[in-house]
Amino acid sequence: MPANIKQQLDDLLRNIEIRRYLCKQNVDLLFVFLALLTGIYLQYKIQEIAMLGFIVWNIINPWSSEKLARGTLALLGLIPFALMFKRSQYAEELAIFVYYFLILTVIIAIIEYKREKKNAEYEDAK
């Protein structure tokens, strides 16, 4: 590419300040948006789409395993009420979400454990 054209392109990019839009928060939102679009395209139910968006958000910006475990327990606590009001369909869907939450919690807990172990080793080495 001739040097002057490259220069012009760089200037243009700098002018529109594309980097400003590429901040982490916007990229994260873009990925969540892509996940929602995928869910819509694959004709998932609205609550499943929301769950997919949540999972993607959590992969990028993970909640602590403790927070997720609390979420799991909160959802689990809703199930008896759903059954009490004879909404077995809701109870079934809630149980599935509890299962997803549980998997996420376990994965995040393993990652946290490994990270802590690594930090401890690093501290010891110091």
Residues that bind other proteins (CB under 8 A): 27, 31, 34-35, 38, 41-42, 55-56, 59-60, 86-87, 89
Q: What does residue 116 show for φ and ψ, rounded to 5 degrees?
A: -60, -40
Cβ proximity to other proteins, 31 vs 76, nearer residue = 31
Residue 31 CB, shortest distance to other proteins, in Å, is 5
Residue 99 CB, shortest distance to other proteins, in Å, is 16
DSSP states of 35-91 as a string?
HHHHHHHTT--HHHHHHHHHHHHHHHSPPPHHHHHHHHHHHHHHHHHHHHTT-HHHH
Cβ proximity to other proteins, 55 vs 91, nearer residue = 55
Cβ proximity to other proteins, 31 vs 63, nearer residue = 31
Residue 13 CB, shortest distance to other proteins, in Å, is 20
Cβ proximity to other proteins, 98 vs 108, nearer residue = 108
Residue 41 CB, shortest distance to other proteins, in Å, is 8
Please give the structure tokens belonging to residue 12: 């243009």
Torsion sign over Cα 27, 31, 33, 37: positive
Taking the CA atoms of residue 71, residue 73, residue 74 and residue 79 in that order, the dihedral angle to the nearest 10 degrees is 130
